[in-house]
A and B are shown apart, each in its own frame.
Chain A
Amino acid sequence: MSDLKDFRPSRRGFLGLAGGAAALSLSAPAPARAQAISTKAKIVILGAGAAGTGMANRLVERLEGAEITILDGRKQHWYQPGFTLIASGLKPAGYSVSGTGDWLPKGVKWVEDYAANIDPEAQLVTTQGGEKLAYDYLILATGLSLDWAAIEGFSLDQVGQNGIGAVYAGPDYAEATWRAMDAFTTKGGVGLFGRPATEMKCAGAPLKYTFITDDYLRRKGTRAASQIIYAANNEALFSVPVVNEKVKLLFTKRGFDTRWNHILTGIDAGAKTAYYKIPEKRVLNPDGTVTVTGETTTSIAYDFTNVIPPQRAPKVVRESGLSWADKWVDQGWIEVDQGTLRHLRYPNVFGVGDINGVPKGKTAASVKWQIPVVEDHLVADIAGREGTEVYNGYTSCPMITKIGRAMLIEFDYKNNLTPSFPGVIAPLEELWISWLMKEIALKPTYNAMLRGKA
């Protein structure tokens, strides 16, 4: 320890250090921000969810004098990535709930109503209350509609009883789902999971909830007397091939019984039975002939199930003429360029979030990457320039595989894995650090995005 005694910092040294620290904090990067552009443009944003709110906060920073109106009748803002944690008994329903108005910046007019009509030719949005909002630019951030009515025999008031869960339905339903899942895992039995055949938000969520239910069965010692069935809508568990293979391995390891090509059509809550359609299948034989197996139906009995309905664009969007005419015709996602997110027929219309007719990107993390792209092209258009930002399809899914572990899966349009921390956090490994990120860092990152800060 003798050399430590030679450590004799001086008072001047201390002052120097303190001064240095102060200077450092003062000179902390003034964020590189382009000067605000003056404009009288009328911008209407449909929807004040993650996409609409984040967008509004960015545009307020970038534009001076623009008339920005955001239309949403919902007073509650829902942090949807939290639903899985609520339905896993780790967070209360309130974890996902805040006020829509809490996040909206000054300088944006919030009309508390829903759109009844969108007329892209007349550049006019009419609210359900009859108010007419003319626009120069329209940003669709409506999110999507959960088509519960498409599941025959199911209604939301069943959630929480008789082994019926519906994680997607909202914070309170997620909490009710936890009650049903908790009761099920205490007793054991058949847990039945699956996903709809439409595009869906966070395609990893159905898998996560399967893993988490399995984890609870194991923790409570009831797994041996139980069966986990996953009814996949097609012949894959995940759209990204390399992730699909990994999830298949995990399903085998965890002893899940996977059924392929099962599309949920109905539920009999009393009989605890789910009904499925198995679509017609054509197989090309080696001799060149084709074997056709006609459409069939089947049923599976369960003790607990998580119902996820088909997902579509909201009716007002499907009726607006903005949807693709030849793609996703039963779902109605809007016809945007997948790089610029600009409408292909109406260049003053943009889409952010779930509503976009692009192959990937229905997650909050995607929204975070889409906002700067739409911001760039819209502001550039106002300034009379061309935008340069391109959305590459970035989508992220912290795939929880048990309470305490997750795989931080990130990918793009081309099914490339795009890890944020290459060489540090392996995307296809079940890691504690990925769980920590989901648990601690995700909501703050999301909130920062809402405020236009991330």
Chain B
Amino acid sequence: MKDMTLETLIAVLEEIFGRGLFWAMVAVAAVVTAAYLFVLIRDRHLSARKFLAAQLFMPVGAVAAVLFVQGVTSSGFADIGGPIDWIVLLGVAAMGAIGIAILVYTVQALVAGKSRQAD
């Protein structure tokens, strides 16, 4: 890489997914994040029960993210070759886990509607 600027990174990501899909994904991620912050502020607390349910989905998100990446790149667990590969694998898993947890929490909160008390 010659220079890795934010502009280069965005250009590369646009090329990976296609401009439309990339910005659609950014928009979805932004909407989910905004919705998550919205329910947090609306409810004025983090619901432990919803959070627990969200946590239960984390392994699903982690495994799904790893299998997705392996699927689109024609590779598998046998290709892990060094420490950095484990870090990448765990990073992908962590992103999947956190992503699904936020999504599940937000969906629950939106479906359940406004709650004032801690449940």
Q: Could you tell me if A404 and B79 are in contact, using CB atoms closer than 8 angstroms?
A: yes
B115 at the A/B interface (Cβ < 8 Å)? no
* Distance of B107 from chain A, by nearest CB (Å): 19
Taking each of B13, B37, B41, B45, which has the highest tally of chain A beta carbons within 10 Å of its own beta carbon?
B41
- List B contacts of A431 (CB < 8 A): 81-82, 84-85
Assess the B74–A7 pair: CB atoms within 8 A: no
A11 to B41, CA, bound (A): 6
Given A432-B79, A435-B75, A441-B12, decide whether A14 and B45 contact each other with a Cβ distance below 8 A: no
Contact partner of A453 among B8, B76, B79, B89, CB < 8 A?
B8
Q: Chain A: residues with CB nearer than 8 A to chain B?
A: 1, 4-5, 7-11, 13-14, 17-18, 28-29, 31, 90, 368-369, 372, 402-405, 420, 424-426, 429-433, 435-436, 439-441, 443-445, 447-448, 451, 453-454
Q: Which residue of B lies closest to A12 (CB)?
A: B41
| Nearest CB in chain A: distance from B20 CB, A | 15
A439 x B73 contact (CB < 8 A)? yes
B7 close to A453 (CB less than 8 A): yes
Contact A454 B11, beta carbon cutoff 8 Å: yes
> What are 14 A-B pairs at a CB distance below 8 A?
A1-B51, A5-B45, A7-B46, A9-B41, A28-B7, A372-B2, A405-B75, A424-B84, A425-B84, A431-B85, A432-B79, A433-B85, A433-B88, A453-B7
Q: Is the CB of A14 within 8 A of B11?
A: no
Q: Are B75 and A403 in contact (CB under 8 A)?
A: yes
Measured in the bound complex, the distance between the Cα atoms of B15 and A352 in whole Å is 24
A5→B46 contact, CB < 8 A: yes
Q: How far is the CB of A76 from chain B (nearest CB, A)?
A: 19
The reply to whether B51 and A4 contact each other, CB–CB distance below 8 Å, is yes
Question: Which of A7, A368, A444 neighbours the largest number of chain B CB atoms within 10 Å of its CB?
Answer: A444
Q: List 9 extra interface pairs beyond A4-B45, A9-B40, A403-B75, CB under 8 A.
A: A8-B44, A9-B41, A404-B73, A432-B79, A432-B81, A433-B88, A444-B12, A451-B11, A454-B11
B48 proximity list for chain A (CB < 8 A)? 1, 4-5
Cβ of B112 within 8 Å of any chain A Cβ, yes or no, is no
- Min CB distance, A33 to chain B, in Å? 10
- In the bound complex, do residue B46 and residue A448 qualify as a contact, i.e. CB atoms below 8 Å apart? no
Contact B1–A420 (Cβ < 8 Å): yes
CB distance from A435 to the nearest CB of B (A): 6
Interchain nearest-CB distance for A395 vs B (Å): 13
Q: Which of A10, A368, A405, A432 has the most CB of B within 10 A?
A: A432
B111, CB-defined interface residue at 8 Å: no
With both chains docked as a complex, state the minimum distance between the C-beta of B26 and any C-beta of chain A, in angstroms. Answer: 10
A6 to chain B, nearest CB (A): 8
- Contact A454/B41 with A404-B76, A424-B84 known, Cβ cut-off 8 Å: no
Smallest CB–CB gap between A99 and chain B, Å? 16
Known: A1-B51, A14-B38, A404-B78. A444 touches B45 (CB 8 A): no
Cβ of B34 within 8 Å of any chain A Cβ, yes or no, is yes
A31 & B5 in contact (Cβ 8 Å cutoff): yes
